[in-house]
Amino acid sequence: MKKHNIQRREFLKYLLAASAGLGLAGINTKFSRSADGEPTVPMYLPFVVHNSEQQSLLSKVLHIHAPSVTNWGFDYDQYYGQTQALHLPGVNQGVVDAMIDRGVTGLLGLNSSQIADAWRQLIPDYYPGKMVAIKANLNNSFSCSSNSDSIDAIAQPINAVARGLKIMGVRDQDIVVFDAIRSFPDRVFNELLYKNIQIHDNGCQGFSSTWNSSDANAFIQFSPPSGSLPVVRLSDTIINADYLINMPIIKGHQISGVTLSFKNHFGTVNNPSGMHNQVSTSYSGINTYNALVDLYSNPHIREKTVLTIADGIYGSREFQNTPPQPWNTFGDHSPCSLFFSTDPVAMDCVLHDLLKAERGSAQPNTSDSYLKLAASSGLGVFQSGDPWRIPYGSGYSLIDYQRITM
């Protein structure tokens, strides 16, 4: 399977040379080899950060904070995901567009006018017919008419990503937004600006998810230290995709402690409930095994993911199925944030630490065990840090955490 690397040969040559002298704790500098014998690099290491004191490989997480992105006042008689209009509270689409533009350009070190260039670097070698899949989080939507207060994906970040992809030249029909086992409800669909993009869900909008592929990696390969997990297979949507953008929501969880980038892919498979025992914070082997690591290690997820954008416009400070609430750490307001990274481990570390700062002892001590295991498996860089330490970013040494307020 082809990896989507930027200037692949030149980057590999430089990276291999640089890694020989690094020995930086927590950085995996082991490289596998492709069929032609050329070293391959995990997607979480695309950025070389130049420092006057030393040259390091750091995983970057960019946090865009925009307090004006929503004026919804936690009135649950009004839908939190509606688009702002005159006398209508909700989410400001123009601000979300600006946040996405700032995030994708800033992640790559480009200026704000280089939006198309940034997307072309993230989605290399695109041509009409190649599919860009966007994994939304609709965990609490069980029907087309779903109108629960529970937090779910909203349309505005999807609109902004689709807008960026269209600016770089991706056709509407090559953009697929999906949650394979949940409904894409009418209230979200009605807020979409680009009605010709594909929607794949459980049969509510567009195309019903299918599970028919004979691809060699269609099934998740689990390796628990004892016992076994049920048969779990990927939806055909992700198997047929060429690029994957993961869009989790920052949320706590009653079983796994948190549900972030890794667990968002429970909505990519046909039988996620069978994994719950091996992702639970009370699982006896939680420090040595977690099914989330095997799930994310599947080549269709690991090798196709070009970007993770975490939605913290609202976020859930309690659990996966509770409504958006004010966050104490964000001044008794919504977080009003979006997060950008190509390293899913570093991303979830920062999101985990933000939840921990907000939730305190309500967050189990083992809720980040999967991240330590994922780092050991070469999926990214782990560090437990403090995202609130001033100046922002100083709370981490292995993760290049940057926060920008718009």
DSSP states of 248-288: -EEEEETTTEEE-TTGGGGGGBS-GGGGGGGT-TT-TTTTT
Q: Report pLDDT for 58.
A: 60
Residue 29, domain member (yes or no): no
Check the CA dihedral 236-264-280-217 and report its sign.
positive
Q: By the 8 A CB rule, do 245 and 306 touch? A: yes
CB-based contact 84:96 (threshold 8 Å): no
Mean pLDDT by 10 residues, the chain (406 residues): 40 37 34 39 37 47 97 92 89 97 96 94 96 94 85 96 98 97 94 96 91 96 88 96 98 85 94 84 88 96 97 87 90 96 96 95 91 95 96 96 96
C-alpha span between 304 and 244 (Å, rounded): 5
Global pTM value: 0.86
| Assigned domain for 249 exists | yes
Q: In this structure, what token pair is assigned to residue 124?
A: 């290399």
pLDDT of res. 274: 84
Is 120 within a domain? yes
Tell me, yes or no, whether 44 lies in a domain. no
Token output for 163: 């807008």
Task: Of 184, 233, 186, give the one whose Cα is nearest residue 210.
Answer: 233
Residue 84 DSSP code: P
Tokens standing for residue 350: 């920062």
Structural domain containing residue 224: 59-405
- Determine the 3-state secondary structure of 385 from DSSP: coil
Residue with tokens 């046909």: 270
Paired tokens of 86: 């005159």
Q: Domains in the chain: how many in total?
A: 1
Residue 41 confidence (pLDDT): 38
Domain presence at residue 302:
yes
Please report whether residue 299 resides in a domain: yes
48 within domain boundaries = no
Tokens of 262: 């890794």
Q: pLDDT value at position 43?
A: 40
Q: Tell me the longest C-alpha to C-alpha distance in the chain.
A: 61
Three-state SS at 254: coil
- Does residue 235 form part of some domain? yes
